[in-house]
Each structure stands twice: as structure tokens, then as C-alpha cells.
Amino acid sequence: MEVPTKDQIAQFYGDAIDKCLTGFSQLNDKEWSKKASKRKSVEWTARDHLGLLVVTHELETMALTRQALAGEPTNIPGFEKREDMRGFRASALETVREVPVPELLSRLEANLKEHLGTLKSLTDADLDKPANSPAWDKPGTVRDLFFAAYLFLPGQYQEIRSVAKKKMPHWIESSTAEHVNYHLGRTFHYMPLILNREAAADADVTYLFTMEGDGGGQWSVIIGGGKAEAKNGAPEAFDAEIKTKPQLWMDLSNGQLNAPMAIATRKVKLGGNPALALKLQTFFSTEG
């Protein structure tokens, strides 16, 4: 898939919104209170992940989109650089700790649908306007802001799903092959925006990602000169290859699949220099 059109972005973003809202509506109070994940020694419940979705969309996504479309400088008070993100989001989450789940769900639905409505009203020229985020290594476009908003949804969906796997199917399992391919493409093409420039300062490496099965394909990410670039398809030569299935790749990326165990059991196969494959998480991070 080449650069997605506005209609394609709206289609898959809308599908993702519907999948989240439908899945979340099935959870009961007990499930919302269960611990869903650990983040740097901080244990979060499913409800915390819902709250994170709400505050991130309200304080970051909506604000960054409005600022970019208006040609204004990026301005998120308290979130000026990537290293601020964890503390900023933790503080923002505290502001909704006492908000009832039904209200959080209502706010999330209203905000997501407003953002989707904004997307549908834009022209291609609007989508190509320059944009930035404190979480990014380099400027992008308004189109990238919508990609970021889309990608945040399945990540949090999977975290929340961990408390109710019988009610909420795995994101990849419940997606069409077309949607899986879109998701993978957006994931790999988003990676250059979250390059850890300091960690990758001396790197000169080409990664090949081979995703096997329905919706799969091949993508390459090239790091060199302190920057990164993503391309569709396999490169002429690569330094490290990561081969797995889309579902396992999502679990690996979210930390829900242990990398050493996945490699040992051949759920993830490495080609080329395996040491470089293991450095991937160091090179790309939303938290610096």
C-alpha cells in the first residue's frame, strides 16, 4: 500500500474507533478494576488505560491537530520534549482517576468521533501540512498525526483486552487482511518519527520486517546519519531480518510477548545479525 488516501485513513480509523468502543462496552466494573499491565513499576488497571486514552486524545491529539491545521507552533504545556511524556501522561491520568467509567467512555467516543469528523472535512493539502509532536524525532505532517491517533487505539485495546480475553478478540484476529496490512504499514512507516536519535547516532543498519500470513508483507527501515527512513518491500540487502506473524509482532511490540522466549521457540525468526535485531527497541521509542 502506498501512502494511504484520506478515504482510506478515515475508513481504518473509523473501523478502529468502532472496534474499541464495541469491545470496551462489554466490560463490567470488576473487569475495569483488574490490573492490565505494568509500566516501569507502575501497575495500571484496565480503567487506567481507558483514562489514558481519554486524556491523551483530549490534551495531545486534539490540540496538536488544531495547532498544525492553524499553522501554529506546537504547544502542549508540560510536554515539551519526548522525555516529558511519561510524567505528563501520569499527571494527566490523575485528573480522571475519580471519573466514572461510563463518563470516560462517553468522552472517548465524543472526542474520537470529533477527530474523525475533522479528518473527513480536510483536503489532501490539509493532510500534507507540516505538523509536529513532542514525542517525535522530527517534524511530520497532519497525516502523521492521524496515523499516530490510529496506532494508539490498538495498543491500548490490547492492554485492556488482557483482563477480558473471552469478550474482546485479539486486534489482529478480528481484523480483515486489508486492515492487518494497513496496520502493519502504518506501524513501520511511523517508526522513523520515533527514532531515538541519541541511541542511533552511530548506527548504519537496514532492517527487513517480514510478516507472514494474511495481511502480511515486507517492509524495510533504514537507519543512517542519525535519521531513519521506512520503505515498502524488501531492500536489496539488509543487516537484520525479523520474521514473524502479524499477531505475534503486535504482541512483541506491546511487550505482551517475551522477546527471548519468542525467539527461542521460533515464534520470531531472526536473519542476518541477531544482535542488531535485539537493538531495535533501543533505536525506536516514544519515551526517549
- The per-residue pLDDT for 287 is 62
Q: Any idea how long the chain is?
A: 288
- Which one of 134, 169, 204 terminates a domain? 169
Q: Tell me whether residue 237 is in a domain.
A: yes
Mean pLDDT score across all residues of the chain: 94
List pLDDT tens digits, range 215-230. Answer: 999 999 999 999 999 9
Q: Are residues 162 and 274 in the same domain?
A: no
143 and 71 housed in the same domain: yes
Question: Looking at residue 288, what is its pLDDT?
Answer: 44
Phi, psi (degrees; rounded to nearest 5) at 149: -65, -40
Last residue of a domain, one of 169, 187, 208: 169
The domain that contains 276 carries what CATH number?
3.30.1050.10
- Domain count for the chain, please give it: 2
Give the chain's end-to-end CA distance (angstroms, integer).
29
Looking at the structure, tell me whether residues 164 and 272 fall in a common domain: no
Domain limit, last residue, from 150, 169, 188: 169
**Distance from C-alpha of 140 to C-alpha of 138, rounded to nearest angstrom:** 7
**Grid coordinates representing 153?**
487505539
Pull the grid cell for residue 45.
Answer: 488497571
Q: Is residue 179 part of a domain?
A: no
Residues 29-40: tens digit of each pLDDT: 999 999 997 555
- At 79 the pLDDT is 97
Q: Do both 41 and 97 map to the same domain? A: yes
Indicate whether 23 and 157 sit together in one domain.
yes
Task: Provide CB contacts within 8 A for 243, sequence distance 6+.
Answer: 209, 210, 211, 212, 268, 269, 270, 271
The reply to whether 155 and 219 lie within a common domain is no
pLDDT digits over 62-80, tens only? Answer: 999 999 999 999 999 999 9
Q: Are 96 and 54 in contact (CB under 8 A)?
A: yes
For residue 229, being part of any structural domain is answered with: yes
> Same domain, yes or no, for 55 and 137?
yes
User: Do 153 and 95 share a structural domain?
Assistant: yes
User: What does each C-alpha distance from 130 to 75, 82, 140, 185 come to in angstroms?
Assistant: 14, 19, 6, 21
CA distance 175 to 214: 10
Q: Are residues 207 and 249 in the same domain?
A: yes
**Residues 13, 104 share a domain:** yes
User: Domain with 81 in it: what CATH number?
Assistant: 1.20.120.450
pLDDT cut 70: percent of the chain above it? 97
Beta bridge partners of 130: 141
In a domain, 288, yes or no: no
Candidates 247, 214, 228, 180; CA nearest to 1 is 180
* Dihedral of alpha carbons 13, 14, 19, 21, sign: positive
In the chain, which ranges are E strands?
35-39, 42-45, 130-131, 140-141, 205-211, 217-224, 227-232, 240-244, 269-272
Residue 270 is assigned to a structural domain of this protein: yes
d(CA 261, CA 247): 16
CA gyration radius, the chain = 18
Residues 120 and 43 in one domain: yes
pLDDT-derived band of residue 41, with 50, 70 and 90 as boundaries?
A: low
Domain contains 10 = yes
Of the CA atoms within 13 Å of residue 53, those in its CB half-sphere come to 32
Express each pLDDT in 244-287 by its tens digit.
999 999 999 888 888 888 988 999 999 999 999 989 989 997 66
Question: Do 212 and 153 fall into the same domain?
Answer: no
Evaluate whether residue 187 is within a structural domain: no
Q: Is residue 142 part of a domain?
A: yes
Domain that holds residue 19: 6-169
Is the pLDDT at 43 greater than 50, yes or no? yes
